[in-house]
Structure 1
Amino acid sequence: MGISQVAHAELAVADLDEAIGFHTDVLGMRELGRADGAVRLSVGIDGGCDLVLTAGGTGVRRFALRVDDVADLDRYAKRLAEAGVATETRTDEHPGVVQALRFQAPSGHAMELAVLSTGPQYVHPAKAPHRGGIRALDFDHITVQAQDPKPLVDFLVELLDFQVSDIFAPAPGVIGAAWCRASTLHHDIAIISTPEAGKSLHHYALGMESFDHLKLAADELGRHGVPIEVGPGRHGVGGNVYTYFWAAGNRYELSAEMPRVRRNDPVVWDDFPKAFSPWGLQPPESFGHAS
């Protein structure tokens, strides 16, 4: 019962046709359909909607989290209403979405809780369709930007039953970033502080099978002239392996080896280089930019 994982996200792109080509040809996503100026895409094996692309600007317009059933939606709707958060119930969402509850987080992000009708019991790499491109396993997590991460962290924990796995605190009592989980995986949503108003997304992450899969993905990006921003490498926070790149005005992460976390107090980091990578690899200045 409750929130189990991320469901999908809607990203804005400047050139919709160019972005569709990249996501299908290079990332290996499958187009599910188009309606009202939005293009719905699926990645992996479950056949559900993982990404929605809309024209105009960059960044995340909304993102959704999966819940088990309508009873969960009712329970969270009541809890949000008691906290003074307005909600909207929708039944005309994307393919595979039975019902969704939409609301706004303190950071200004539009969020949804969604009951899905599709999906296998678990992701099995051998059952992934043999399409071209990078062929990620699934939508893995999302990292958003907020001028002050704390209100969003408190909102996730107090109203949506999230736990905090790690915190980056550049000074005592200051949250520079937080990695939050609804499942047992290290993070489903991460929040990074930004001094820039109007920036909503740090990266949209796709789950990969292994470090070797990251190597093959890097070759695929290279064949299409897409430069890697940083990686492959291993994070200090969480310990997952990563590769980052930009596409259609937004940053993407390819992530593998995401660990599972026991219930406990969060780990607090005050050293950014160690938090980013124990291997000594550090990101370029561009990594501080968002969309």
Structure 2
Amino acid sequence: MGISQVSHAELAVGDLEEAVGLHVDVLGMKELGRSDGSVRLTAGVDERCDLVLTSGGTGVRRFALRVDSHDDLEYYGKRLADAGIEHNTRSDEDPGVSQSLQFQTPTGHVMELSLLTDAEGPQYIHPARAAHRGGIRALDFDHITLQAQDPKPLVDFMVDILDFQISDIFAPAPGVMGAAWLRASDLHHDVAIISTPEPGKSLHHYALGMESFDHLKVAADELARHGVPIETGPGRHGVGANLYTYFWVAGNRYELSAEMPRVRPGAPGMWDNFPKAFSLWGLTPPESFGHAS
């Protein structure tokens, strides 16, 4: 019951056809269909929609979280209404989605709660199903990290209205929330929010799940073969402890993430040292890592 995990996201890109080619040939995604100037893609293992690409700009247009029943949609619809937040119901917008609630968050991000069709995809990810594909062969959409000038209103909204828990907080100074990592499942984060001084920026990165460090190595070689430079990584984060590799595709940053830990209920961890929060191995991100789309 409740929100179980991320479902999919819609990202804006400048050249739609070029972006689709990179996602299919380099990232190993599979096209599911096209409508209204958008292309829907799956990471290819469970055949569910993981990503929607839409022409025009960069950044995240909307992102969806998965719920497990109509009762969940009714529950969160009431929570939103009680909080005075306008929302609307959508049906059959994306492959494998039977119904969703769409609303705007306090930071202006468009969020959806999506109920998937029962017959769409298996109940769990099986890595062997990805073995026949080309590209980096990611397993699934793993998490999304948003940008906001002030993360706290969105963090409070997700905790108070959507029942998320906070795993970790980065506070560069007392009483200042620089970033937060939140979970709906027992994985360390499904959604994270990082502060940015730039107005109008919505996305820090869209993350794909990988099997292991060795999988990150194979993916790095695949990126190199296609001339896609790595921005930073591979490495291991301090916050969350997951393995990472970052790169840009079609104007948006992507992360390849592996070994995301499970978290027990409890008070969030607090960090005030950015280098240690970013990397346990002493890696320093480039200046470009502070940019967003």
Given the two structures, how large is their TM-score scaled by the length of structure 2? 0.98
TM-superposed deviation, 1:120:
1.6
- Of 265, 270, 273, which residue of structure 1 is paired with 2:272? 270
Q: Structure 1 CA distance, aligned partners of 2:146 and 2:195?
A: 9
- Residue number in structure 2 paired with 1:143: 145
SS of residue in 1 equivalent to 2:161? helix
Is 1:158 the counterpart of 2:152 in the alignment? no
TM-superposed deviation, 1:167:
0.3
Q: Report Cα offsets for 1:95-116 as digits up to 9, x if no partner.
A: 1001000000001000000001
Q: Report Cα offsets for 1:246-284 as digits up to 9, x if no partner.
A: 010000000000000000000000000000011000100
Q: Report Cα offsets for 1:186-213 as digits up to 9, x if no partner.
A: 0000000001110000000000000000
- Residue number in structure 2 paired with 1:226: 228
What are the equivalent positions in structure 2 for 1:1-291 lying under 5 Å apart?
1-117=1-117, 118-128=120-130, 130-291=132-293
TM-superposed deviation, 1:53:
0.2
Instruction: Tell me which amino acid in the other structure corresponds to 2:69.
Output: D
TM-superposed deviation, 1:13:
0.1
Instruction: Tell me which amino acid in the other structure corresponds to 1:235.
Output: H
Are the aligned partners of 1:45 and 1:129 in contact in 2 as well (CA < 8 Å)? no
How many residues align? The count is: 291
Q: Structure 1 CA distance, aligned partners of 2:24 and 2:143?
A: 20
Are the aligned partners of 1:44 and 1:129 in contact in 2 as well (CA < 8 Å)? no
Q: Structure 2 CA distance, aligned partners of 1:30 and 1:84?
A: 39
TM-superposed deviation, 1:64:
0.1
Q: Which moved more, 1:114-123 or 1:75-84?
A: 114-123
Given the two structures, how large is their TM-score scaled by the length of structure 1? 0.99
Instruction: Tell me which amino acid in the other structure corresponds to 1:34.
Output: R
Q: Report Cα offsets for 1:54-107 as digits up to 9, x if no partner.
A: 000000000000000111001000010000000100013111001000000001
Instruction: Tell me which amino acid in the other structure corresponds to 1:85.
Output: I
SS of residue in 1 equivalent to 2:217? helix
SS of residue in 2 equivalent to 1:148? coil
TM-superposed deviation, 1:141:
0.1
Q: Structure 1 CA distance, aligned partners of 2:35 and 2:52?
A: 11
Q: Report Cα offsets for 1:146-188 as digits up to 9, x if no partner.
A: 0000000000000001000000000011100000000000000
What fraction of aligned residue pairs are identical, expressed as a percent?
Answer: 78
Q: Structure 1 CA distance, aligned partners of 2:150 and 2:261?
A: 27
Are the aligned partners of 1:178 and 1:191 in contact in 2 as well (CA < 8 Å)? yes
Q: Structure 1 CA distance, aligned partners of 2:49 and 2:97?
A: 8
TM-superposed deviation, 1:44:
3.6
Gaps of 5+ in 1: none
Q: Structure 2 CA distance, aligned partners of 1:261 and 1:146?
A: 25
